[in-house]
Amino acid sequence: MSEIETLLKDYLNYLEIEKNRSPKTSENYAHYIKEFLKFSKISSPKDITEPVVREFRLALARREMKRITQSYYVIALRNFLKYLSKRDIKALAPEKIELPKTPAREIEVLEYGDLERLLAAPKGESLRALRDRAILEMFFSTGLRLAELCSLPRRIDLKRGEVTVRGKGDKLRIVFISDSARTAIEKYLAKRGDAEDALFVSIDRAGKVIGRVTPRAVQRLVAQRAKEAGIAKPIHAHLLRHSFATDLLVNGADIRSVQALLGHSNISTTQIYTHLTNKELREIHDAFHGMRRRKDK
């Protein structure tokens, strides 16, 4: 194993142990940095130079790779260099690498009518219908990520209407359960006759509980319930998180509070939602701008 490969292994361990990054994050960083090492054919950190990095970035661009994807490689490499600098290992200074400018991220949300139809899509009193209704209501009430929802324990404080979740970076935050979500969960739990300690469970075709619900199963049920609701466009679970955030902003919540509720480390991540409130701003502009001029006419 070369010197640079040993240092990369140390860095990945550092990410997981010292920085509490998820195994998936370490896996992604390993992929990005190994691609750079494979391209550059270097064996020592001192061989990481500006011209080498420039050639790598040019090669990524020539693959017709999206700018946002190119930025992942650059971010991973720059963070690796920060680690080397912290350990006083001679290599290119991380500040010598500029991040590519990427276009503003575009996200989708459900129209209000579509959202209401989706939440009401599970019909009947079967365990599956009650579970699906509870999952959809919980998504919209809390803005949870898919993995966070799937990992919820059965014992949550419905009376207080709040639950502590462990999100990205192993960070804890409190999310709040609306009255409609609480009612849906209570009805669902009352139907459960199993000893599974997960809040949301997988159910086989015979209606038997077969363990904790998986992210893939939740994605499927969201897509299926969207079809039943007559929603034409593809719907995924994360759209409900987007809808949660924009609903708060449109109704007057400040962006810092929304950041805390979503569990975003950086406010810039939350700001991607603000462009979706432009319609509301347009209505305010139309209603109040130039009122005196209109009166004079």
* 225 belongs to the catalytic site: no
Q: Are residue 150 and residue 270 in the same domain, yes or no?
A: yes
Query: Concatenated DSSP letters for 58-92?
Result: HHHHHTT--HHHHHHHHHHHHHHHHHHHHTT--S-
Look up residue 143 and give its two tokens: 């803005």
Angle at 149 between CA 147 and CA 278, to 5 degrees: 90
pLDDT 10s digits, 206-260: 989 999 999 999 999 999 999 999 998 889 898 899 889 888 888 888 889 989 9
* 242 belongs to the catalytic site: no
Phi, psi of 162 (to 5 degrees): -150, 155
Q: Are residue 58 and residue 151 in the same domain, yes or no?
A: no
In this structure, is residue 204 part of a structural domain? yes
Q: Are residue 171 and residue 225 in the same domain, yes or no?
A: yes
More confident residue, 82 or 16: 82
In this structure, is residue 80 part of a structural domain? yes
Q: Are residue 35 and residue 159 in the same domain, yes or no?
A: no
Which amino acid type is present at position 289? H
Q: Are residue 163 and residue 267 in the same domain, yes or no?
A: yes
Q: Are residue 90 and residue 9 in the same domain, yes or no?
A: yes
Q: What average pLDDT does the segment 86-108 reach? A: 81
* 145 belongs to the catalytic site: yes
* 292 belongs to the catalytic site: no
Radius of gyration of the chain from Cα atoms? 24
Q: What average pLDDT does the segment 55-71 reach? A: 89
Mapped onto helix, strand or coil, the DSSP state of residue 10 is: helix
Alpha helices in the chain (DSSP H): 3-17, 23-40, 50-62, 67-86, 112-119, 127-142, 146-150, 179-191, 215-228, 238-250, 255-262, 267-270, 278-288, 291-296
The percent of residues in the chain predicted with pLDDT above 70, rounded, is: 90
**pTM listed for this prediction:** 0.66
Q: Are residue 24 and residue 121 in the same domain, yes or no?
A: no
Of residues 131, 133, 241, 242, which has the active-site annotation? 241
Q: What average pLDDT does the segment 130-158 reach? A: 94
Distance CA 79, CA 84 (A): 9
Of residues 168, 173, 191, 236, which has the active-site annotation? 168
Of residues 145, 182, 225, 242, which has the active-site annotation? 145
* 46 belongs to the catalytic site: no
For residue 41, the tally of other CB atoms under 10 A from its CB is 8
Of residues 29, 83, 188, 273, which has the active-site annotation? 273
Q: What average pLDDT does the segment 274-280 reach? A: 61
More confident residue, 24 or 160: 160
For residue 36, the tally of other CB atoms under 10 A from its CB is 23
In this structure, is residue 290 part of a structural domain? no
Domain that holds residue 191: 112-281
pLDDT over 70 at 262, yes or no: yes
Q: Are residue 141 and residue 236 in the same domain, yes or no?
A: yes
Using CA atoms, how far residue 151 sits from 4, 71, 155, in Å, is: 37, 30, 12
* 264 belongs to the catalytic site: yes
The domain that holds 251 is classified in CATH as: 1.10.443.10
In this structure, is residue 101 part of a structural domain? no
